[in-house]
Every structure is written in structure tokens, then in C-alpha cells.
Structure 1
Amino acid sequence: MNYKNKTQRVTWMFRELQEGKILKKKELALQFNVSLKTIQRDIDELRSIFGEDYSPYHLVYSKAQGGYVLDAETTDILNEQEILATLKILLESRAFLKEEMKAILKKMYRHLPRERQRMIDAYVSNEMHYYVELTHRSSIMDKVYELAEASRGKQAVMIMYKKEHEPEAKAYHIEPLGVVFSEFYFYVIAESHNPERPHPVAYRIDRIEHIHCKQRFERSETQRFEESKFQQRIHFMHTGEVAVVKLRFSGTSPEAVLDRLPTGKIIKREASAVIIEAEVYLRGIEMWLLSQGENMEVLAPASLRKRMQERAEKLVNLYK
């Protein structure tokens, strides 16, 4: 190579360092047909680049290796174990379009040397090949960000929202409280001004066709929406009345139930069952309880127990 241009040399050395290579001054001077002083100036340039606040790397001289290498502050960058685990979660979520997932993979790979990139790619390439997009097949990243910003800035918005079985989108004026992800989809949670349904309302973001920000709305700190607390209570994004339920579980894994009910706790142990108490949104918990079959009995509240009895009778009649 006969790179007389400084930018060409520095770019080439930058790529070599990112791939875990060692830069040796004498070899570089011969390779580029320039002086040692020129190479030193190039190295000083690289040192300033990697010394920026946003870079987790530092360019250092290694006596043991006889050249300049990148020293990573490993606590500030993703390692291969973290990248693999995160990619598995993203692929399983199916939250993004296939091309968006490919772009995310490519960006995450940049945290690793080239040979480690190939190893991680071998673990996920088959899943990526057979990746199935959700049926709405729409990009929602910009909408998620815009609604999150509106929530943070306490901005009311007008959305054009199309429900699944309706022919056209309708206008809704909402006060966004926060954005959450659950069961494949992103949702914007909004304040309800319906006195008959005072609980928050969830709108699937992929069904929003247009967003128009309007004036600010007032919300005190005592009314602050907490996404994590909301998600601990909700199932399948159905809200409804918040209530404390008491359940008898006779299945094999109480741990799995508690993972599904983050607010839950075992209040009593019986010979072949446990009694669990949890604070939940009632509409959503009904759907999940049905999936537990005969392993789960609702003890309280009485209204939920009656509702589950009615559902069970309908199921029996369906299979007669």
C-alpha cells in the first residue's frame, strides 16, 4: 500500500484496531512508505479519536505485544454474552420488521472483533433466516419515539387509530402517559376521561396511522404514570378494575406463576397447592387464568370467581 493520504492511513489503521489487530510503527512505516514520525502523528490522531467521551476504547502501547492495541473499558461496552442474550430476546419478540432487525444486528456486532462477530452470527443466522414479521408489517420505531416524547413533555395528541375490524381510522384525542411493550406489540397508555372507565386506556401503536401533537396538559407528580408498576398488574394489555385476587394453584411450578404475576406472593402452603395473592387488572387476568385450566382456582374476589364459573360453563357447552 502506498497511502500518502493521512485520512486513508488513519481509516485503515482504525479498522485494523477494531478487528483486534496490533499496530507496529516500523511495519506501518514500511507498509505505507512513510516516516516513523508520520506514523506517530497518525497514532496520535487515533489516540484522540478513541479518547472521545463516547468511545469505550483507549489506544495504548502494549510492551508484551510490541505495538498499539485497543484497551476496552469492558463495563461500558456489550460483550458477546450480553449481545447474544439480547439478540435472542429481540428475535423472539418479533417487534420489528426483518430489515430493521438486520440493521440492529449489524450495529450490535460492531462491539466485537470480526472473528467474534462470525461466532455470534452463527448462533442467530438460522433464526434470522426464518424470522417471521408480524402481520401488520409496519415500521413503528418513529411512532414509539414520538409518543414517548409526547408523554415526557405532557403533550396531548390527536391520533388516527384504526381498529382491526373497522373499515376506516377514527380520530382520538388522548393524553399519553407512557409507552410499553407487551406480547409482540408496543402500546401507548393514555389517560381515560370516561368516569365509567377511570382506568388507563391502551392503544396499539402499529394501528396508529397519524400522530399530531397538540397543547400541553397538566399532570401533577402524584399522578405520575409508572410503566413498570403498570406492567406488573396487567395481562394481555387489558386493563379494567384494579383488584387484589386470591388464587389456589395446584400445578407443578408456583415459581412460573409468580413470574407471570410480579405483584404476587404465596400467603399459604397446603398439602398439594399454594394460595397466591396479587394485585392485577381484572379483565386481563381472566384470559390468563383460563390458560391454567384445572390447576388454578379463583378464591376471591367473588365477582371474578363468578365470572370464571360462567366462562367454564361456556367452555363445557362448547365441547358437548
Structure 2
Amino acid sequence: MKTKIPIKIEYSGKGGTKSALILPFAILFHEYYFYITSYKFENEEWVSRTYRLDRIESISNADGKEIVKAQAFFHKYPSPSLIRDQVIMMFSGEPYLIRLKIVDKTITEYLKDALPTLQVVDEEEAIYEIRTSGVEGIQLFLRRYGSQVEFVSMTELNTGDNEG
């Protein structure tokens, strides 16, 4: 971001919606979310702060003139959370249904949190499935767990786009 002009955001966080005067300097991606890293004017000085992009409700100039009604924009297009939940580690592609066996059950809760669309197929056998966009991202993500997670099946979902 080249322009160094402070903006005012309305941000929905744990304590409700709050206003912040910020000077953005980077957009980052981490664990399924985009963040805007900025300096926030707080207690008469600029301090570094990070905000989740999907929680910004509106953006205005420092005088309060609204530039973007973020929530209105997001409602016109597919839900960012829907897209985020199916795009793993910034890889996308054709839709797949992937079945996994979680061998080490101690990581089950972490995987459920990290992969929001993970669904139980057979709890006793620890079989789960997830819908993804492409397979590279989920393969890369699960590789860090080695033998703790096994792929059972990968099925490309027919979207009907290839029918002629």
C-alpha cells in the first residue's frame, strides 16, 4: 500500500463493534483468514495492530466519510467464509470430497478447528470427510501430520460444467 493516509474502520470483534483510526501497511493471509496489519492511533501514539479483514464492517476516511460498506460488498458475492472453508493453504481448483482417517485421535479437535467443514462420517472408526477446492492444499496441510492422518478417498465432485 503506497498511500499513507489514515482510514477509520468499524470493526466487529469479541467486545462488539468498535471504531479505530488506522494506517494500513500490509495484508496477510494465515490459517484461512486475511488480515490487515496497520498502525492504530491509540493513547496519543501509533501502535501496531492486526485486524481480520472479514470483521471490518465499514471503511471511511479520517473525517468519517464512508468509502466502503464492507458488509454490503460481501453480501453481493459468495460468502467469504464459504470460499475460505474450501480453500486450503491458498490452493484452489475443482471441488473434491476427501475422506480421511484420523489415526491419532488426540489431534481430532485441532483438525476440526483448523478445517471448519470437516464432518464426521464414522466416529468409532475416526473417518471424516471434507469438501475442498482442489487437492494440493489439503495434501500439503495434512502432510505435517505424517502417519497421524491417512487419506481414505478423494472424489472429484461433478459441477455439471463439463457437460456438453
Specify the SS of the correspondent of 1:253: helix
Distance in 1 between the 2:123 and 2:146 partners? Answer: 20
What amino acid sits opposite 1:301 in the alignment? M
Letter in 2 for 1:239: S
Residue 161 (structure 2) pairs with residue 300 (structure 1): no
Residues 293 and 227 of structure 1: is their aligned pair in 2 closer, same or farther, counting only changes over 3 Å? same
Matched residue type, 1:234:
V
CA displacement at 1:263 relative to structure 2 = 1.0
Instruction: Give the 3-state SS of the residue equivalent to 1:284 in structure 2.
Output: helix
Q: For 1:191-234, what per-residue CA distance to the aligned partner results, in whole angstroms no more than 9, with x for missing partners?
A: xxxxxxxxxxxxxxxxxxxxxxxxxxxxxx7xx42211111111
Change (3 A) 1:76 1:95: closer
Contact 2:86–2:131 (CA under 8 A) maintained in structure 1: yes
Residue number among 83, 86, 90 corresponding to 1:237 in the alignment = 90
- Asked whether the 8 Å contact 2:97–2:155 carries over to 1, the reply is no
In structure 2, distance between residues paired with 1:76 and 1:261: 26
Cα distance, 1:76 vs structure 2: 6.7
* % same residue: 18
TM-score (norm: length of structure 1): 0.28
Q: Give the AA of the match of 1:250.
A: V
User: Contact (CA 8 Å) 1:241, 1:283: kept in 2 or not?
Assistant: no
Match of 1:247 in 2: 100
Deviations 1:87-140 (A, max 9, x none): xxxxx98742xxx33x25x1xx69xxxxxxxxxxxxxx9xx6xx9xxxxxxxxx
Distance 1:147 1:290, change over 3 A: farther
Determine the C-alpha separation between the residues in 1 that align with 2:136 and 2:98: 12
Report the equivalent of 1:277.
129
1:258 is aligned to: 112
One-letter code aligned to 1:267: V
> Which has a greater percent of strand?
2
Matches of residues 42-81 of structure 1 in structure 2 within 5 Å? Answer: none
Residue 297 and residue 76 in structure 1: after superposition, are their counterparts in 2 closer, same or farther (change >3 A)?
closer
Taking the aligned partners of 2:143 and 2:16, their CA distance within structure 1 comes to: 44
Query: How many residue pairs align between the two structures?
Result: 108
Larger helix fraction of residues: 1
Deviations 1:171-193 (A, max 9, x none): xxxxxxx6xxxxxxxxxxxxxxx
Deviations 1:67-91 (A, max 9, x none): xxxxxxxx8776xxxxxxxxxxxxx
Q: Measure the CA separation in 2 of the matches of 1:230 and 1:292.
A: 24
Contact 1:249 1:296 in 2 (8 A): yes
The one-letter amino acid of 1:232's match is D
Measured after TM superposition, the shift of residue 269 of structure 1 is 2.7
- TM-score relative to the length of structure 2: 0.51
**Structure-2 change in CA distance of 1:230 and 1:147 (3 Å):** farther
For 1:228, the aligned partner's letter is S
C-alpha RMSD over aligned residues: 4.0
Superimposed CA distance per residue, residues 239-266 of structure 1 (whole angstroms, 9 cap, x where no aligned partner): 1111111000122121111111111111
Residues 249 and 274 in structure 1, CA contact (< 8 A), matched pair in contact too:
yes
Structure 2 gap ranges (5+): 1-14, 19-29, 50-58, 61-66, 157-164
Distance change >3 Å, CA 292–CA 243, structure 1 → 2? same
Kindly state the Cα deviation for residue 283 of structure 1 after the two structures are TM-superposed: 2.6
Distance change (3 Å), C-alpha of 1:297 and 1:225: same
